[in-house]
Chain A
Amino acid sequence: MLLGLFKIICFRMNENIYKIPDRAEWVDLYANKLYAYAFSRLRDHAAAEDMVQDTFLVALEKTGTFRGESTFETWLIAILRRKIVDHFRKIAKECSTSLNELNEMTESSFFTEKGKWLSEERPAHWSSSPMNELEQKELRRIISDCQSKLKTLQQTIFTLKYTEDISSEDICKELEISASNYWVILHRVRLQMRKCIEKNWFVK
């Protein structure tokens, strides 16, 4: 009887080791999931598709490094996530003018010299009544629009922080910017996003 129990335990343990499905099935099994993951972050169909393709290619190459500690799907998503961060980093590097951008950003001001809100920049009251579904949808469209209007570096930081939930420390490392510049940019982005949304939604 003990032996039987032992066999059951062994069987259970074997179950925990994740296997790689036949590669002919990868696209059917995982493409949609990966695509949705990429699209929700990149908001660009072509780019998302490319990235899924690349993920499969990397997976083909590195099949040997899959240890079966997590599901194959989790492993694929980890590769994809890495690719997305790389993509953002490349964009941030491409705007090598990042510091110019920083100077430019601080030019148009939200505050007086003493640090009080300029009268035209003061946050207005947003309706406090709960939004219906249509309004929520509209608000999200506006957030998306405002996000796409941000400058590249700002947009990247906003996306990494508020959709990817990557810590500021990691964002600084990935984008190779100093912590103090990062906080200045993030502060700026928040001010701009709020203003943009207000302009397009709440005050008509």
Chain B
Amino acid sequence: MMKKLMLSCEQATYLSALQEERKLSISEQMRLRIHLWMCVFCRRFVRQMNEVTSHTHEMVDVGQRALLSAESKERMKKKLYI
């Protein structure tokens, strides 16, 4: 009975990925919450992954500032307007 209720760390981290995309069932939610409450490592995992993915989104914004060189633009114009 207890075994069925308890998630393993492997299952808990798996559910944490799933959770980003779909609503977990109530039983999944409960079991994940209980596991995270008890397990410091999985709690760290979830927190750290959230931090990492918030950076990946911002990294895109930084890359957005990349500029094309004047030569590249000239090359493009030549290819386009022949």
Q: Of A9-17, A36-44, A87-95, which binds chain B? A: A36-44
Q: Give chain B's interface secondary structure class.
A: helix
* Nearest CB in chain B: distance from A186 CB, A: 5
Query: A123 near B45 (CB under 8 angstroms)?
Result: yes
Interface residue tally for chain B (C-beta within 8 Å): 39
Query: A49 near B52 (CB under 8 angstroms)?
Result: no
A1 close to chain B: CB less than 8 A? no
B30 close to chain A: CB less than 8 A? no
B4 close to chain A: CB less than 8 A? no
B18 close to chain A: CB less than 8 A? yes
8 Å CB contact of A193 from B52, B67, B76, B81: B52
Query: B64 near A194 (CB under 8 angstroms)?
Result: no
Q: Of A64-72, A97-105, A160-168, which binds chain B? A: A160-168
Query: B68 near A31 (CB under 8 angstroms)?
Result: yes
List of B residues within 8 angstroms of A35 by Cβ: 66-68, 72
Residues of chain A touching chain B, judged by Cβ–Cβ distance below 8 Å, are: 23-24, 26-28, 31-32, 35-37, 39-41, 43, 48-49, 52-53, 56-57, 60, 110-111, 114-117, 122-126, 136, 139-140, 143-144, 147, 162-163, 165, 167-168, 183, 186-187, 190-191, 193-194, 197-198
